[in-house]
Amino acid sequence: MIKSEVASWYRWQEMFRFESFHIFGIILSAVAVGTTGIAIIKKLRIRDVYGKAIVIPDKAKSFYRYAFGGFIFGIGWALAGCPGVHYALAGFGQYMILLALFSAVMGTWIYGALRTKLPH
Amino acid sequence: MELVNLHPLGCSWHWSVSGISIAMIMLALILFGKSFGLSSTYRTLCTISGAGKTSPFFRFDWKAQLWNLYFASGIIAGGFLAKHFLSAGQTIVINPETQSFLFELGLIDQTGVNRQYPLLPPILFNPELTELPRAIFLITIGGLLSGFGSRYAGGCTSGHFISGLSNLQIPSLITLIFFMLGGILSTNFLLPFLLACL
Protein backbone atom coordinates (compact mmCIF):
# COMPACT_ATOMS: atom_id res chain seq x y z
CA MET A 1 0.00 0.00 0.00
CA ILE A 2 2.84 2.34 0.82
CA LYS A 3 4.85 1.45 -2.23
CA SER A 4 2.05 2.07 -4.67
CA GLU A 5 1.13 5.30 -2.88
CA VAL A 6 -2.39 4.19 -2.10
CA ALA A 7 -1.58 5.24 1.43
CA SER A 8 -0.69 8.75 0.35
CA TRP A 9 -3.04 11.47 1.47
CA TYR A 10 -2.11 13.42 -1.67
CA ARG A 11 -3.34 10.61 -3.88
CA TRP A 12 -6.77 10.60 -2.23
CA GLN A 13 -7.11 14.31 -2.82
CA GLU A 14 -6.17 13.78 -6.46
CA MET A 15 -8.74 11.04 -6.75
CA PHE A 16 -11.55 13.13 -5.29
CA ARG A 17 -10.69 15.91 -7.71
CA PHE A 18 -10.55 13.46 -10.63
CA GLU A 19 -7.07 14.69 -11.44
CA SER A 20 -5.28 11.38 -11.38
CA PHE A 21 -5.95 7.89 -12.61
CA HIS A 22 -3.69 6.33 -10.01
CA ILE A 23 -6.09 5.08 -7.34
CA PHE A 24 -8.83 4.43 -9.88
CA GLY A 25 -6.30 2.24 -11.70
CA ILE A 26 -5.54 0.31 -8.53
CA ILE A 27 -9.21 -0.23 -7.79
CA LEU A 28 -10.13 -1.12 -11.35
CA SER A 29 -7.30 -3.62 -11.75
CA ALA A 30 -8.12 -5.16 -8.37
CA VAL A 31 -11.80 -5.46 -9.27
CA ALA A 32 -10.99 -6.90 -12.71
CA VAL A 33 -8.80 -9.64 -11.23
CA GLY A 34 -11.15 -10.09 -8.26
CA THR A 35 -14.27 -10.49 -10.41
CA THR A 36 -12.54 -13.04 -12.61
CA GLY A 37 -11.24 -14.93 -9.59
CA ILE A 38 -14.62 -15.05 -7.86
CA ALA A 39 -16.33 -16.07 -11.10
CA ILE A 40 -13.89 -18.98 -11.45
CA ILE A 41 -14.39 -20.00 -7.81
CA LYS A 42 -18.17 -20.03 -8.32
CA LYS A 43 -18.07 -21.74 -11.70
CA LEU A 44 -15.76 -24.55 -10.61
CA ARG A 45 -17.36 -24.70 -7.14
CA ILE A 46 -13.92 -24.56 -5.61
CA ARG A 47 -13.86 -25.44 -1.92
CA ASP A 48 -11.86 -23.61 0.67
CA VAL A 49 -8.74 -25.09 2.28
CA TYR A 50 -10.87 -26.71 5.00
CA GLY A 51 -12.94 -28.48 2.35
CA LYS A 52 -16.03 -26.36 2.96
CA ALA A 53 -18.06 -24.98 0.09
CA ILE A 54 -17.27 -21.32 -0.50
CA VAL A 55 -20.31 -19.14 0.01
CA ILE A 56 -19.79 -15.41 -0.21
CA PRO A 57 -22.77 -13.86 1.54
CA ASP A 58 -24.62 -11.23 -0.46
CA LYS A 59 -24.75 -7.77 1.04
CA ALA A 60 -28.15 -7.06 2.59
CA LYS A 61 -30.53 -5.29 0.23
CA SER A 62 -31.14 -1.75 1.30
CA PHE A 63 -30.57 1.77 0.13
CA TYR A 64 -30.44 4.15 3.08
CA ARG A 65 -27.61 2.54 4.98
CA TYR A 66 -25.40 2.39 1.92
CA ALA A 67 -26.19 5.93 0.85
CA PHE A 68 -25.89 7.58 4.28
CA GLY A 69 -23.09 5.36 5.53
CA GLY A 70 -21.18 5.65 2.27
CA PHE A 71 -21.52 9.41 2.17
CA ILE A 72 -20.34 9.81 5.77
CA PHE A 73 -17.46 7.43 5.21
CA GLY A 74 -16.41 9.31 2.07
CA ILE A 75 -16.18 12.58 3.99
CA GLY A 76 -14.03 10.96 6.65
CA TRP A 77 -11.90 9.09 4.12
CA ALA A 78 -10.86 12.29 2.33
CA LEU A 79 -9.82 13.85 5.63
CA ALA A 80 -8.17 11.04 7.53
CA GLY A 81 -7.92 7.94 5.36
CA CYS A 82 -9.57 4.53 5.29
CA PRO A 83 -8.95 1.57 7.62
CA GLY A 84 -6.37 -0.35 5.60
CA VAL A 85 -4.36 2.81 5.11
CA HIS A 86 -4.43 3.58 8.85
CA TYR A 87 -2.65 0.32 9.59
CA ALA A 88 -0.10 0.76 6.80
CA LEU A 89 0.75 4.30 7.88
CA ALA A 90 1.03 3.26 11.51
CA GLY A 91 3.66 0.74 10.43
CA PHE A 92 5.33 3.46 8.40
CA GLY A 93 5.86 5.38 11.62
CA GLN A 94 3.30 8.14 11.03
CA TYR A 95 2.10 8.25 14.58
CA MET A 96 -0.57 10.91 14.17
CA ILE A 97 -2.48 8.31 12.17
CA LEU A 98 -3.01 6.43 15.43
CA LEU A 99 -5.34 9.28 16.35
CA ALA A 100 -7.30 8.63 13.15
CA LEU A 101 -7.37 4.93 13.96
CA PHE A 102 -8.50 5.56 17.52
CA SER A 103 -11.23 7.99 16.50
CA ALA A 104 -12.40 5.60 13.78
CA VAL A 105 -12.80 2.88 16.43
CA MET A 106 -14.74 5.43 18.50
CA GLY A 107 -16.85 6.24 15.43
CA THR A 108 -17.67 2.57 15.06
CA TRP A 109 -18.59 2.45 18.73
CA ILE A 110 -20.94 5.42 18.31
CA TYR A 111 -22.55 3.69 15.35
CA GLY A 112 -23.10 0.55 17.42
CA ALA A 113 -24.71 2.60 20.17
CA LEU A 114 -27.03 4.53 17.81
CA ARG A 115 -27.68 1.66 15.46
CA THR A 116 -31.30 0.99 16.35
CA LYS A 117 -32.19 4.66 15.88
CA LEU A 118 -30.76 4.97 12.36
CA PRO A 119 -32.59 4.22 9.11
CA HIS A 120 -31.13 1.12 7.47
CA MET B 1 23.11 9.58 -4.44
CA GLU B 2 21.70 7.95 -7.53
CA LEU B 3 22.72 4.52 -6.29
CA VAL B 4 19.79 4.15 -3.93
CA ASN B 5 17.30 4.13 -6.73
CA LEU B 6 18.75 1.12 -8.49
CA HIS B 7 16.84 -1.35 -6.38
CA PRO B 8 13.77 -2.37 -8.41
CA LEU B 9 11.57 -2.46 -5.33
CA GLY B 10 12.79 0.90 -4.12
CA CYS B 11 10.87 3.17 -6.46
CA SER B 12 7.11 3.63 -6.54
CA TRP B 13 5.16 0.69 -7.79
CA HIS B 14 2.87 0.82 -10.75
CA TRP B 15 -0.83 0.94 -9.86
CA SER B 16 -1.56 -2.38 -11.53
CA VAL B 17 0.99 -4.15 -9.30
CA SER B 18 -0.90 -2.93 -6.29
CA GLY B 19 -4.34 -3.63 -7.76
CA ILE B 20 -3.49 -7.19 -8.74
CA SER B 21 -1.83 -7.87 -5.37
CA ILE B 22 -4.89 -6.61 -3.52
CA ALA B 23 -7.14 -8.88 -5.59
CA MET B 24 -4.86 -11.86 -4.95
CA ILE B 25 -4.99 -11.19 -1.21
CA MET B 26 -8.78 -11.03 -1.35
CA LEU B 27 -8.98 -14.31 -3.31
CA ALA B 28 -6.54 -15.98 -0.93
CA LEU B 29 -8.71 -14.94 2.04
CA ILE B 30 -11.78 -16.35 0.30
CA LEU B 31 -9.97 -19.66 -0.24
CA PHE B 32 -9.26 -19.70 3.48
CA GLY B 33 -12.96 -19.23 4.18
CA LYS B 34 -12.52 -15.59 5.21
CA SER B 35 -13.52 -12.29 3.71
CA PHE B 36 -11.51 -9.21 2.85
CA GLY B 37 -12.64 -6.12 4.71
CA LEU B 38 -10.65 -4.07 7.17
CA SER B 39 -13.27 -1.89 8.82
CA SER B 40 -14.53 -5.04 10.59
CA THR B 41 -11.37 -4.88 12.69
CA TYR B 42 -12.71 -1.67 14.25
CA ARG B 43 -15.80 -3.49 15.42
CA THR B 44 -13.63 -6.26 16.84
CA LEU B 45 -11.47 -3.69 18.63
CA CYS B 46 -14.63 -2.12 20.10
CA THR B 47 -15.79 -5.49 21.37
CA ILE B 48 -12.40 -6.28 22.88
CA SER B 49 -12.50 -2.89 24.62
CA GLY B 50 -15.81 -3.77 26.21
CA ALA B 51 -18.33 -2.19 23.84
CA GLY B 52 -20.61 -5.21 24.35
CA LYS B 53 -21.88 -3.53 27.50
CA THR B 54 -23.24 -0.60 25.52
CA SER B 55 -24.82 -2.30 22.53
CA PRO B 56 -25.75 -5.83 21.45
CA PHE B 57 -24.12 -4.96 18.11
CA PHE B 58 -20.78 -5.63 19.77
CA ARG B 59 -21.79 -8.90 21.41
CA PHE B 60 -20.32 -11.42 19.01
CA ASP B 61 -17.58 -13.99 19.10
CA TRP B 62 -14.63 -11.70 18.60
CA LYS B 63 -12.18 -14.58 18.80
CA ALA B 64 -13.50 -15.78 15.44
CA GLN B 65 -12.42 -12.41 14.05
CA LEU B 66 -8.92 -12.50 15.51
CA TRP B 67 -7.46 -13.56 12.16
CA ASN B 68 -8.44 -10.15 10.78
CA LEU B 69 -6.45 -8.41 13.50
CA TYR B 70 -3.47 -10.57 12.60
CA PHE B 71 -4.05 -9.56 9.01
CA ALA B 72 -4.06 -5.91 10.08
CA SER B 73 -0.81 -6.45 11.98
CA GLY B 74 0.58 -7.82 8.74
CA ILE B 75 -0.27 -4.52 7.07
CA ILE B 76 1.45 -2.66 9.91
CA ALA B 77 4.51 -4.86 9.38
CA GLY B 78 4.28 -4.12 5.66
CA GLY B 79 4.31 -0.39 6.34
CA PHE B 80 7.35 -0.88 8.56
CA LEU B 81 9.18 -2.90 5.89
CA ALA B 82 8.35 -0.33 3.25
CA LYS B 83 9.87 2.37 5.40
CA HIS B 84 13.02 0.63 6.55
CA PHE B 85 13.94 -1.68 3.70
CA LEU B 86 12.22 -0.52 0.56
CA SER B 87 12.37 3.25 0.77
CA ALA B 88 14.74 5.02 -1.54
CA GLY B 89 13.89 8.65 -1.29
CA GLN B 90 10.49 8.05 -2.79
CA THR B 91 8.83 11.22 -3.94
CA ILE B 92 5.32 11.63 -5.16
CA VAL B 93 4.63 13.68 -8.23
CA ILE B 94 1.02 14.77 -8.22
CA ASN B 95 -1.08 16.48 -10.82
CA PRO B 96 -0.15 20.18 -11.08
CA GLU B 97 -3.83 21.09 -10.62
CA THR B 98 -4.00 19.19 -7.35
CA GLN B 99 -0.66 20.66 -6.39
CA SER B 100 -1.79 24.26 -6.82
CA PHE B 101 -5.06 23.47 -5.02
CA LEU B 102 -3.16 22.07 -2.02
CA PHE B 103 -0.63 24.90 -2.17
CA GLU B 104 -3.41 27.45 -1.91
CA LEU B 105 -4.68 25.63 1.14
CA GLY B 106 -1.21 25.89 2.64
CA LEU B 107 -0.77 22.13 2.80
CA ILE B 108 2.29 21.83 0.57
CA ASP B 109 5.11 24.06 -0.66
CA GLN B 110 5.12 25.58 -4.09
CA THR B 111 7.73 23.04 -5.17
CA GLY B 112 5.34 20.16 -4.59
CA VAL B 113 5.08 17.35 -2.12
CA ASN B 114 7.71 17.56 0.58
CA ARG B 115 10.38 14.89 -0.02
CA GLN B 116 10.56 14.20 3.66
CA TYR B 117 6.83 13.59 3.92
CA PRO B 118 5.77 11.83 0.74
CA LEU B 119 2.62 10.35 2.22
CA LEU B 120 0.94 12.82 4.53
CA PRO B 121 1.03 16.61 4.72
CA PRO B 122 3.24 17.46 7.71
CA ILE B 123 1.01 20.37 8.67
CA LEU B 124 -1.71 17.88 9.61
CA PHE B 125 0.22 14.75 10.46
CA ASN B 126 3.49 16.08 11.80
CA PRO B 127 2.47 19.51 13.04
CA GLU B 128 4.32 22.16 14.96
CA LEU B 129 2.94 22.72 18.43
CA THR B 130 0.96 25.77 17.32
CA GLU B 131 -0.76 23.81 14.58
CA LEU B 132 -1.42 20.81 16.77
CA PRO B 133 -4.99 21.65 17.89
CA ARG B 134 -6.17 22.15 14.32
CA ALA B 135 -4.51 18.92 13.19
CA ILE B 136 -6.02 16.97 16.08
CA PHE B 137 -9.46 18.41 15.33
CA LEU B 138 -9.38 17.55 11.61
CA ILE B 139 -7.99 14.06 12.07
CA THR B 140 -10.42 13.24 14.86
CA ILE B 141 -13.40 14.41 12.81
CA GLY B 142 -12.17 12.43 9.82
CA GLY B 143 -11.58 9.32 11.90
CA LEU B 144 -14.96 9.49 13.65
CA LEU B 145 -16.80 9.91 10.34
CA SER B 146 -14.93 7.13 8.58
CA GLY B 147 -15.42 4.73 11.50
CA PHE B 148 -19.10 5.59 11.82
CA GLY B 149 -19.79 5.57 8.10
CA SER B 150 -17.97 2.36 7.28
CA ARG B 151 -19.93 0.38 9.85
CA TYR B 152 -23.21 2.06 8.87
CA ALA B 153 -22.59 1.15 5.24
CA GLY B 154 -21.37 -2.31 6.25
CA GLY B 155 -17.88 -1.98 4.85
CA CYS B 156 -15.08 0.33 3.81
CA THR B 157 -12.92 0.60 0.75
CA SER B 158 -11.70 -3.00 0.91
CA GLY B 159 -15.07 -4.51 1.84
CA HIS B 160 -17.27 -2.67 -0.65
CA PHE B 161 -15.04 -1.33 -3.39
CA ILE B 162 -12.91 -4.44 -3.80
CA SER B 163 -14.74 -7.43 -2.28
CA GLY B 164 -18.29 -6.23 -2.95
CA LEU B 165 -17.76 -5.06 -6.48
CA SER B 166 -15.81 -8.19 -7.39
CA ASN B 167 -18.80 -10.20 -6.20
CA LEU B 168 -21.09 -7.99 -8.34
CA GLN B 169 -23.04 -6.60 -5.40
CA ILE B 170 -25.45 -3.79 -6.20
CA PRO B 171 -25.31 -2.49 -2.59
CA SER B 172 -21.57 -2.05 -3.00
CA LEU B 173 -22.11 -0.07 -6.18
CA ILE B 174 -24.54 2.23 -4.37
CA THR B 175 -22.11 2.56 -1.48
CA LEU B 176 -19.14 3.46 -3.59
CA ILE B 177 -21.08 6.09 -5.51
CA PHE B 178 -21.81 7.70 -2.15
CA PHE B 179 -18.20 7.17 -1.00
CA MET B 180 -17.15 9.23 -3.98
CA LEU B 181 -19.80 11.90 -3.41
CA GLY B 182 -18.74 12.23 0.23
CA GLY B 183 -15.07 12.38 -0.71
CA ILE B 184 -15.61 14.93 -3.46
CA LEU B 185 -17.54 17.16 -1.07
CA SER B 186 -14.93 16.69 1.61
CA THR B 187 -11.83 17.43 -0.49
CA ASN B 188 -13.22 20.28 -2.51
CA PHE B 189 -15.44 22.07 -0.01
CA LEU B 190 -15.20 20.80 3.54
CA LEU B 191 -11.41 20.70 3.76
CA PRO B 192 -10.90 24.26 2.42
CA PHE B 193 -13.75 25.46 4.64
CA LEU B 194 -12.35 23.88 7.80
CA LEU B 195 -8.82 25.07 7.06
CA ALA B 196 -10.10 28.60 6.53
CA CYS B 197 -12.10 28.58 9.75
CA LEU B 198 -9.57 27.03 12.08
DSSP assignment letter at A58: P
- Banded pLDDT at B2 (limits 50, 70, 90): very low
Which pLDDT score is estimated for B14? 85
Residue B195 CB contacts under 8 Å (≥ 6 apart), including other chains: B105, B106, B107, B134
Q: Is A53 helix (H, G, I), strand (E, B) or coil?
A: strand
| The predicted structure's pLDDT at residue B5 | 42
Domain boundaries, chain B: 1-90
How many Cβ atoms are within 10 Å of B75's Cβ, its own excluded? 24
User: What's chain B's average pLDDT?
Assistant: 88
- Other beta carbons less than 10 A from residue B14's beta carbon: 15
Residue B31 gets which letter from DSSP?
H
* Tens of pLDDT, residues A2-52: 767 788 899 989 999 999 988 899 999 999 999 999 999 999 888 888 888
pTM here is: 0.91
The whole-number pLDDT of residue B10 equals: 60
* Assembly ipTM: 0.92
Interatomic CA distance for residues A80 and A97, integer angstroms: 8
How far is B73 from A88, CA to CA, in rounded Å?
9
Task: Give A62-90 pLDDT, tens digit per residue.
Answer: 899 999 999 999 999 999 988 889 999 99
User: How many other β-carbons are positioned within 10 Å of the β-carbon of residue B106?
Assistant: 11
Q: What is the pLDDT of residues B69-110, one digit of tens each?
A: 999 999 999 999 888 887 656 678 889 999 999 999 988 888
- Using the Cβ of B113 and the Cβ atoms of chain A, whether some distance falls under 8 Å is answered with yes
* Chosen from A31, A42, A47 to mutate, greatest number of chain B CBs within 10 A: A31
Q: Hey, is the C-beta of B154 within 8 angstroms of any chain A C-beta?
A: yes
